[in-house]
Amino acid sequence: MLPNSSPLWGGWEGPLNIKKMAYDKFTKLTSPAVPLPIENVDTDQIIPARFLKAVERKGFGDNLFRDWRYDKSNQPIADFPLNQAKYSGKILVGGKNFGSGSSREHAAWAIYDYGFRCVVSSFFADIFQGNALNNGILPVVVSPEFLEKIFAAIEAANNAQFEVDLENQKFTICATGESTGFSINPYKKHCLANGLDDIDYLVSIKEEIKKFEASPNPLH
């Protein structure tokens, strides 16, 4: 304990005003997808640091991929996928190691605020994956081969539909009917499907946390 530590419990007494998360429940999604066939898309690209100065969680979508989306005179860069009218939808498909680097949750907020509900890649960075799940975005991990099939399907028909079925943990390329399973932690699946967050749960087990704190431990 730090010397000025206080034994007071500060957290559990207040009323729980909010039961609903800031995101919508995720169940099933059928949508075209936007391709971003680049690897190691780091969170500095998703939302550059200079846009992290807000103290509220809103408006980050405007600056999603800011420096790939706009040039220095704020004109849209024509060949960036988000600027191409032929691509649309609530699914973003990225190359492997998506979301690496900074832990900034603003990256997940920007993706959600822009309108994406699902990000597909063959590999996600850990912190981004957690942040996505905590914000109603479903990260779907597929094999590198299946990822190539998705990119190919989008190129074959830009408005190709994809179905993301959380309950059955299945991602389908509608045009060909090809599908793949994906894994998700059952607890996080439950949270996502019901619009719940971890804080509600943690507050509900307060007695157990108190007991843990009181238990003998060389550190406490």
Partner 1 sequence: MKTLFDKIWDSHVVKQVEGGPSVLYIDRHFIHEVTSPVAFLGLEKRGLKVLRPAQTIATPDHNVPTINQNLSIKDELSRNQVEMLKKNCVNHGIVYHGLGTEGHGVVHIIGPEMGITQPGMTIVCGDSHTSTHGAFGAIAFGIGTSEVEMVFASQCIMQPKPKKMRITINGTLSKGVTAKDIALYIISKISTSGGTGHFIEYAGSAITSLTMEGRMTLCNLSIESGARGGMIAPDDTTINYVKGRQFAPKGADWDKAVAYWKTLKTDEGAVFDTELVFDAADIEPMITYGTNPGMGIGVSKSIPTSQSLTGTDKLTYEKALKYMGYNEGEQMIGKSIDYVFVGSCTNGRIEDFRAFADFVKGKKKADNVTAWIVPGSQAVEKQIRAEGLVEILEAAGFELRQPGCSACLAMNDDKIPEGKYSVSTSNRNFEGRQGPGARTLLASPLTAAAAAVTGKITDPREFL
According to CB under 8 A, which one of 48, 61, 115, 195 is a site residue for partner 1?
Answer: 48
Tell whether residue 39 is a contact of partner 1 (CB under 8 A). Answer: yes
Task: Please say whether the beta carbons of 98 and 124 come within 8 A.
Answer: yes
> How far, in Å, CA of 176 to CA of 95, rounded?
21
Phi, psi of 63 (to 5 degrees): -110, 15
Tell whether residue 34 is a contact of partner 1 (CB under 8 A). Answer: no
Tokens at 151, concatenated: 């990119």
According to CB under 8 A, which one of 34, 52, 112, 146 is a site residue for partner 1?
Answer: 52
Report helix, strand or coil for 152. helix
Report helix, strand or coil for 189. helix
Between residues 104 and 117, which has the closer beta carbon with respect to partner 1? 104
CB of 190 vs partner 1, minimal distance in Å: 8
Tokens at 5, concatenated: 């530590």
According to CB under 8 A, which one of 123, 162, 171, 182 is a site residue for partner 1?
Answer: 123
The type of residue at 20 is K
Tell whether residue 62 is a contact of partner 1 (CB under 8 A). Answer: no
Near partner 1 in 137-166, by CB under 8 A: 148
According to CB under 8 A, which one of 27, 28, 49, 157 is a site residue for partner 1?
Answer: 49
According to CB under 8 A, which one of 24, 62, 77, 126 is a site residue for partner 1?
Answer: 126
The type of residue at 125 is A
Tell whether residue 18 is a contact of partner 1 (CB under 8 A). Answer: yes
Report helix, strand or coil for 60. helix
According to CB under 8 A, which one of 25, 29, 30, 42 is a site residue for partner 1?
Answer: 42
Considering only the stretches 76-84, 112-120, 166-174, 180-188, report the one whose residues sit in contact with partner 1 under the rule CB under 8 A. Answer: 180-188
> How far, in Å, CA of 113 to CA of 110, rounded?
5
Tell whether residue 105 is a contact of partner 1 (CB under 8 A). Answer: yes
Tokens at 192, concatenated: 């996502």
